[in-house]
Amino acid sequence: MKLVIDKKLQQQIKEIVVRSRLSHIDPRRIICFRSFEAKSRAYARIWALPRIWQIALNLKAHYCLEVLSEHFSRLSTSEQVKVLIHELLHIPKNFSGALLPHRRRQKGGINQQHIEKIFKRYQEACC
């Protein structure tokens, strides 16, 4: 598998965060990658920097957002945005370096309805 930092994707994440009003997310601390020849069937993945590593390296929380190029590039632009929104929803409100699961006991979880709601907000901020 080959990984490349993707500045264009980084800019897209910043735009999504601002337009969707996901104010708890600091796009400067999300590093975006494009992977090639990955074996996974996923479109994208998000990786966290656990608390123990934050302390060891004297860093604030950071996240790596990886898109799997072979799958992600085939999607329409709107579907790509929805995939990125999905990955951003894994980041908790306190931006701690943890990741939220798809299903949670309180306040629902990451589902298509929640993604569509944020995507609508993103579209409305466009024009």
Domains in the chain: boundaries: 2-124
Complete DSSP assignment for 59-91: ----EEEEEEHHHHTTS-HHHHHHHHHHHHTTS
DSSP state of 126: T
What is the dotted CATH code of the domain comprising 2-124?
Answer: 3.30.2010
- How far apart are alpha carbons 61 and 49 in whole angstroms? 6
Q: Residue 15: pLDDT above 90?
A: yes
pTM: 0.93
**pLDDT tens digit sequence for 17-63:** 999 999 999 999 999 999 999 999 999 999 999 999 999 999 999 99
**pLDDT tens digit sequence for 103-123:** 766 666 788 999 999 999 999
